[in-house]
Amino acid sequence: MANYFNSLPLREQLEQLGKCRFMHLNEFTDDVNALKGKKMVVIGCGAQGLNQGLNLRDSGLDVSYTLRAEAIAQKRQSWKNATENGFTVGTYEELIPGADVVLNLTPDKQHTAVVTAIMPLMKQGACLSYSHGFNIVEEGMQIREDLTVIMVAPKCPGSEVRAEYVRGFGVPTLIAVHENNDPKGEGLALAKAYAVGTGGHKAGVLMSSFIAEVKSDLMGEQTILCGMLQTGSLLCFDKMIEEGVDAAYASKLIQYGWETVTEALKYGGVTNMMDRLSNPAKIKAFDLAAEMKDIMRPLYHKHQDDIMTGHFSATMMADWANDDAELLGWRADTAETAYEKTDAGDMEISEQEYFDNGILMVAMVKAGVELAFETMTSAGIIADSAYYESLHETPLIANTIARKKLYEMNATISDTAEYGCYLYNHACVPLLGDFMKDIKSDVIGRGLNLNDMSVDNARLIEVNREIRNHPVEDIGGELRGYMADMKRIV
Amino acid sequence: MSELIQLDGLTVDFDGRFQLSNINWCIEPNQNWMITGTNGSGKSALAAVLAGVGDVVSGTQTGIPDRVSLVSYEAQGELIAAELKKDDADILDVISEGTPVQEIIDQVCQDQELASQLVKQFGLDALLDRSFRKLSTGETRKVLLVRALTSNPQLLVLDEPFDGLDANTHKMLAAHLSSIVGQIPMVLVLNRFDECPDFITHIAYLDSGELRHQVAREDDSAYAELYQLLHLKTGDVEVPDADPISDLPPLDPTQPLVRITNAKIQYGETVIFEDLSWTIETNQHWQLTGPNGSGKTGLLSLITGDHPQCYVNDIFVFGFQRGQGETIWQIKQYIGYVSTALQWEYRVSTSLRHVIISGFFDSIGLYSKYTDRQRDIANQWLEILGMRHRADDPFNKLSYGDQRLLLIARAMVKHPPLLILDEPCLGLDDINRQRILALIERICAGSETAVLYVNHHPEDKISGIDCYLALD
């Protein structure tokens, strides 16, 4: 198998990368009808598999699970997940031949083996669905010509996919049809019905391509989403300890700080997050972010370049072949960091205090979001995709840190994201080394504590203009506007 | 008054018609109290005890001064009755004019100057020569007030002193009472919190002849809760209509709301319950009891569709046999639901009004456009809860008890055929429990909703429940 993206001519690569369109609610009036009465068989019963299946069933669809024979015989966790939730479970041989739609929700790493095993069993003209395009795009998996291949990718961890559905809402979802495999032209209708079944249409659906999804998703998760938050957590914590800030306080400020500052990001973009700071603090954060952007820009470019050329996926696949030695080693290292081992204190920290004492964290989010967005768009990814894979998802990942720190984040995200996150972290921590030497507790841990809050008017105007005029704010305002139409109250 | 007044475990009988039970109460010399409660709660009786009315059955009372002036409807009635009796007793064959107002005042007056000032202010000057028993009710009330205020009392007990007074007189009396603060301790019986004068320092709340709550005025949150409890108990309000637009698809009246047959919930090897069958008919009110871990919440979530094992059980709800292609939203539209878990899950920052409106959509948070009519209904509910002025406040800033009240209104907003209350009083203190129960009782009385109530505490009774299911 060869990298599918690399097999395409540049013209087509750019066309595929540029695909992304926000779909309006009125495009979903057919509800789940395209899937009504069809047999949907989910492969894998992890977080995405189980939670998507629960939603689809609660939307009136016929869902069952297929697992490898060993998983059933040994009553593994995936078998328990499915049976305790009242689903029919069977082997590939038992369930795949009768399936109208097969939902491949296994981890990326297993895709080749799983798809190779089930393809011969699938009935003529059935549909194969992915939640991530890695297998098609990076590994170049070839699918039987009579099969329809679609992607429905909820842009959230599986637990959120379920929690939002139960609330009566959903999570933003990306859908795509693999154009090489849409023999009956029904791919889009199936993908839309699937998105309705998981509740995604209520929160906003992006129609994209397999290629745009993979290249932007990998970039976002490695850099701003997981990488920057991990690096930022470790650097900020160590700095606070060095500065004599109470360790329990420092731990709490970081664990809940990302969630709190990015909540402001969710509501009103970088502009609103920065506006939560006092004027002197805003100017400080702006300057810190500008400095960090200059330092980190080559790193962001390298990540994007490695993703585009396939170097990243080749490296990771080599680690797969080596029993995940690197991934598991890095995971163990993370667990041993001072931040991870210090429990958050039970002191009260007000919502505003997270901003006032976390100026550097705000600056890191700003720098990471803007850099990731700039890098993606300059690589041919359309602004809509770049927005979702950077700014939009940051609060979602921050929520996982609030739950159980970095351990939870890395447990929730995919192995692919986790691998990329560690790559980023290993490069970024030393890269920011000199920068961090000049950092004091006024921007992380204690706040500026100024008696005089005055600022220079001209400087403030300039800073505000630069924040507001960044392209991520432009597309963000537009997309949040669509979302707000659907979700009047966030 | 120099001593403190102390009632210890006092039980007082009023001619066998009413009893105050086990009253423990202490009035310190520098305090001014308001006594409140619903009709028949015993607030007037407690006031009268201070004036020596009633027969003490048990307990002790100390420190009650000799000169206690009581103004109440009862006292007013007694004075009028005494006047009428005089008339009956008159043996002379002349038309009795009865005692003139001036004389009635003079009988007890210790301060002529104050008396003439008050007479003037109350507009009684033209009536001084009239016979007391020919006065209107409002006028006799004023005379009684003048008598009480001018008799140099050591304790002033005024039962609904503002009742029936016109606005000017009300203002004047309030001003006069304010002017004597510190000279004479006062106990006022008042039905309405908005009449509570500023000088009141403490509030006593009675219910069914018991002194249930004593709250210091300066305790803002306790004061607000008491205010709302009284509002819920006494507010003259109807349960708002359902919204005709979001009318539910009608149910087949010949079918039960819920029919569960031989149900079983199992986690791994652990069976929570099995062979459980249960039918809930329209308009039946049920109470579900059982120890922790007996599967009460699991059973409820089989009905609501929140339990995944509802798909492997024989469950018929609201016309749907589960697992045949129905959606959970088709089920949930018939159910109003309140539980501690829901309150925990309801962590979205949204306004009080939007929380209620979200009940139309069975969502946690509001994600749909709503109509003006739905907003109006939400406002009516806020009115019932006494939270209309806080409609735009964020839900997560409400007290725990207020949140629970709001979620009950959210559950009821669409007039669901079935209202499920899973331990609605859990985690609440006594006053909040009473607020919740007061609201639920109002709802039960005013609608055709079947109530399914889960609760451990025998004292948290809801009237009207007559079907019971116990899990063990």
pLDDT in tens, chain A (490 residues): 789 999 999 999 999 999 989 898 899 999 999 999 999 999 999 888 999 999 999 999 999 999 999 999 999 999 999 999 999 999 999 999 999 999 999 988 899 999 999 999 999 999 999 999 999 999 999 999 999 999 999 988 788 899 889 989 998 899 999 999 999 999 999 999 999 999 999 888 999 999 999 999 999 999 999 999 999 999 999 999 999 999 999 999 999 999 999 999 998 999 999 999 999 999 999 999 999 999 999 999 999 999 999 999 999 999 999 999 999 999 999 999 999 999 999 999 999 999 999 999 999 999 999 999 999 999 999 999 999 999 998 998 898 898 888 887 887 788 899 999 999 999 999 999 999 999 999 999 999 999 999 999 999 999 999 999 999 999 999 888 776 555 443 3
> Do A489 and B369 lie within an 8 Å CB cutoff?
no
Measured between CA atoms, how close is B240 to chain A, in angstroms? 24
Residues in chain B with CB shorter than 8 Å from the CB of A486 are 367
Verify that A218 and A103 share a domain, yes or no. no
Domain boundary among A208, A231, A252: A208
Looking at residue A488, its pLDDT comes to 43
For CATH 3.40.50.300, list the domain ranges present in chain B: 5-234, 258-470
Residue A472 lies in a domain: yes
> Do B367 and A168 lie within an 8 Å CB cutoff?
yes
Residues in chain A with CB shorter than 8 Å from the CB of B327 are 58-60
Verify that A325 and A365 share a domain, yes or no. yes
CA–CA distances in Å: residue A374 to residues A182, A217, A427, B81: 33, 15, 20, 92
Verify that A394 and A481 share a domain, yes or no. yes
A403: closest CA among A265, A230, A255?
A255
Verify that A112 and A245 share a domain, yes or no. no
Measure CB to CB from residue A84 to each of B267, B328, B351 and give the nearest one: B267
Verify that A475 and A408 share a domain, yes or no. yes
Q: How far apart are CA A417 and CA A435, in angstroms?
A: 26
The b/e string for A393-417 (b: 16+ C-beta within 10 A; e otherwise) is bbbbbbbbbbeebbebbbebbbbbb
Residues in chain A with CB shorter than 8 Å from the CB of B368 are 488
Interstrand relation of B258-267 and A39-43 (parallel, antiparallel or unpaired): unpaired
Domain boundary among A184, A208, A232: A208
Tally of structural domains, chain A: 2
Helix pair angle (B137-150, B167-179), 10° resolution: 10
Look up the pTM and report it.
0.74
Q: Can you give the pLDDT of all 472 residues of chain B as single tens digits?
A: 457 899 999 999 988 778 999 999 999 988 999 998 877 788 889 999 999 888 999 999 999 999 999 998 878 878 877 877 666 544 555 556 678 899 999 999 899 999 999 999 888 888 888 888 777 777 888 899 999 999 999 999 999 888 777 778 888 899 999 999 989 999 999 877 777 899 999 999 988 899 988 989 888 888 888 887 877 776 655 677 777 766 788 888 899 999 999 999 988 888 989 999 999 998 788 999 887 778 888 999 999 999 999 999 999 999 999 999 999 999 999 999 998 778 877 877 789 999 999 999 999 888 888 899 999 999 999 988 888 888 999 888 777 778 888 998 999 898 899 999 988 877 666 667 777 787 777 777 766 788 898 876 666 777 778 888 988 7
Residue A68 lies in a domain: yes
Residue A360 lies in a domain: yes
Give the CATH H-level superfamily of domain B5-234.
Answer: P-loop containing nucleotide triphosphate hydrolases (3.40.50.300)
Contacts of A218 (CB under 8 A, 6+ apart): A307, A312, A313, A416, A420
Measured between CA atoms, how close is B363 to chain A, in angstroms? 5
Q: How far apart are CA B203 and CA B223, in angstroms?
A: 8
Q: Chain centroid to CA A152: how far?
A: 14
Looking at the complex, does the CB of residue B310 fall below 8 Å from at least one CB of chain A?
yes
Please indicate whether residue A132 is annotated as part of the active site.
Answer: yes
Do B171 and B179 contact (CB within 8 A), yes or no? no
Q: How far apart are CA B235 and CA B237, in angstroms?
A: 6
Verify that A188 and A300 share a domain, yes or no. no
Residues in chain A with CB shorter than 8 Å from the CB of B266 are 84
| Selected catalytic residue, list A111, A132, A178, A303 | A132
Verify that A178 and A319 share a domain, yes or no. no
Verify that A251 and A179 share a domain, yes or no. no
Closest residue in B to A165 (Cα) is B363
Task: Print the domain residue range for A326.
Answer: 213-486
Measured between CA atoms, how close is B462 to chain A, in angstroms? 29
Measured between CA atoms, how close is A178 to chain B, in angstroms? 29
Residue A15 lies in a domain: no
A335: closest CA among A264, A282, A409, A269?
A409
Verify that A169 and A252 share a domain, yes or no. no
> Do B309 and A54 lie within an 8 Å CB cutoff?
no
Q: Residue A75: which CATH number?
A: 3.40.50.720
Residue A1 lies in a domain: no
Residue A330 lies in a domain: yes
Q: How far apart are CA A330 and CA A368, in angstroms?
A: 22
Verify that A308 and A180 share a domain, yes or no. no
Verify that A287 and A398 share a domain, yes or no. yes
Chain A interface, mutation test: which of B314, B324, B327, most A Cβ atoms within 10 Å? B327
The b/e string for A220-241 (b: 16+ C-beta within 10 A; e otherwise) is bbbbbbbbbbbbbbbbbbbbbb
Domain boundary among A192, A208, A224: A208
Query: What architecture (CATH level 2) is domain B258-470?
Result: 3-Layer(aba) Sandwich (3.40)
Verify that A257 and A184 share a domain, yes or no. no
Q: Chain centroid to CA B97: how far?
A: 45
Looking at the complex, does the CB of residue B270 fall below 8 Å from at least one CB of chain A?
no
Measured between CA atoms, how close is B434 to chain A, in angstroms? 29
Q: How far apart are CA A175 and CA A20, in angstroms?
A: 9
Residues in chain B with CB shorter than 8 Å from the CB of A58 are 305, 327-328
Q: What is the layout of strands, in order, in the sheet containing B18-27?
A: B18-27, B5-14, B55-62
Chain A interface, mutation test: which of B328, B350, B393, most A Cβ atoms within 10 Å? B328
Chain B interface, mutation test: which of A169, A259, A351, A485, most B Cβ atoms within 10 Å? A169
Q: Residue A331: which CATH number?
A: 1.10.1040.10
Residues in chain A with CB shorter than 8 Å from the CB of B325 are 36-37, 60-62
